[in-house]
Amino acid sequence: MQNTNNVLVDVQDLKVQFNLHEGTVHALEGVSFQIQHGKTLGVIGESGSGKSVTAQAIMGIIPSPPGKVTGGRVLLNLPENDASVRVVNVTELPPSGAEIRNIRGKEISMIFQEPMTSFSPVHTIGNQIMEAVRIHYPDVSKQEARDRTIEMMRRVGIPRPEERVDAYPFQFSGGMRQRAMIAMALVCHPRLVIADEPTTALDVTIEAQILELLKDLQAEFGMSIMYISHDLTVVGGVADDVMVMYLGLVMEQASTDELFDNPLHPYTEALWRSIPTIDGDLDRLTPIRGALPSPFAVHKGCPFYSRCEKRIPGVCDQSRPPMIEARPRHWVRCFLYTESK
């Protein structure tokens, strides 16, 4: 939607479904967005909104079966050494083929939510970080890979990295493990780091440190970040642009300041009202009414219809609202703004 040549990831009308035993889940129903070089895109949404599936689709690691990309493209614009740009469509690549494997971990890497379980318990931290270097740079010697690993561990703030490199994950605290995870994601200097709720499992002080670290690293290495969270304040703190997802659709998308100042979609407004602020009146926190619909439900109209306070019966439940640029560089998927345009 943003027309610049500075686009790294261009997701176009991506559709993913999961054919489960209980029925088909339409996890993504036509998601489009772009990530710019060196910028941070924040993705906000409840559980089941399709945030993580989007991330998996970009990496080409959607669990299949049961998951399947049924439409759309994920284009990566990878600058080559000779200043040309290599365009790769991830959805067309065989998911375990050599081409996508060369992109995973090297061009795009991922920081996962659960630092406790994301490492193999029986291999050393160093071994697991080094593996990424050894795979993507086959001509790098073992010693060199180890040195790079230690250097990256030092960079992410792990004390005494030359000793800790041989430690096992269970000897690390949660915060240290997440730092190790970040070191693993960054050791090959990727162009995009997808952070899938990286601080959810950590306590608040550690969370602040990790966020600070990510910002510093971005300033240093210049990579793009896709930051997935259900925590609005966290996303507001790190992201340049924000998109709000609900049940497999992008509901609203704008720069962070614009979105926080002028939330347009009733869902976004409702989300805003449900966060406590330090100076706000605690009594006036309003939860979003109703509950998330069943993941198996098929929505003819707007998926938020059943919970929306500004719904227009006969319109919103009949057809899916289009994405509209309601304000400059501010897109929203809602019938409330179709007239004003």
CB closer to other proteins out of 102 and 173: 102
CB of 114 to other proteins, least distance (A): 5
Would you list the DSSP string of 157-204? T-SSHHHHTT--GGGS-HHHHHHHHHHHHHTT--SEEEEESTTTTS-H
- Nearest partner of 230 among 41, 46, 48, 40, judged by Cα: 46
Residue with smaller CB distance to other proteins, 100 or 316: 100
1-40 mask for other proteins (x: CB under 8 A)? ----------------------------------------
| In the block, residue with structure tokens 């793009």 | 224
Question: Using CB under 8 A, which of 6, 19, 89, 117 touches other proteins?
Answer: 117
- What tokens does 257 get? 């300041």
- Bridge partners (DSSP) of residue 69 are 16
First to last CA, the chain: 17
CA count, 13 A, side-chain hemisphere, 232: 18
Told to check if 119 binds other proteins by CB under 8 A, we report: yes
Kindly indicate which of the ranges 114-122, 199-207, 259-267, 326-334 contains the residues binding other proteins, using the contact rule CB under 8 A.
114-122
Q: Please pick, from the candidates 51, 104, 146, 177, the single residue that binds other proteins as defined by CB under 8 A.
A: 104
61 binds other proteins (CB under 8 A): yes
**Distance from C-alpha of 148 to C-alpha of 157, rounded to nearest angstrom:** 14
How many chain residues are in contact with other proteins, going by CB under 8 A?
A: 32
Q: CB-wise, 135 or 213, nearer to other proteins?
A: 135
Residue numbers 259-298 binding other proteins by CB under 8 A: none
Q: Does 51 bind other proteins (CB under 8 A)?
A: no
Contact 150, 161 (CB under 8 A): yes
- Binding other proteins (rule: CB under 8 A), the pick from 6, 120, 141, 294 is 120
Instruction: For strands 40-44 and 224-229, give the pairing.
Output: parallel
Contact (Cβ atoms closer than 8 angstroms) between residue 84 and residue 54: no
Q: Which residues bind other proteins (CB under 8 A)?
A: 59, 61, 96, 98, 101-106, 109-110, 112, 114, 117-124, 128, 131-132, 135-136, 168, 170-171, 181, 184
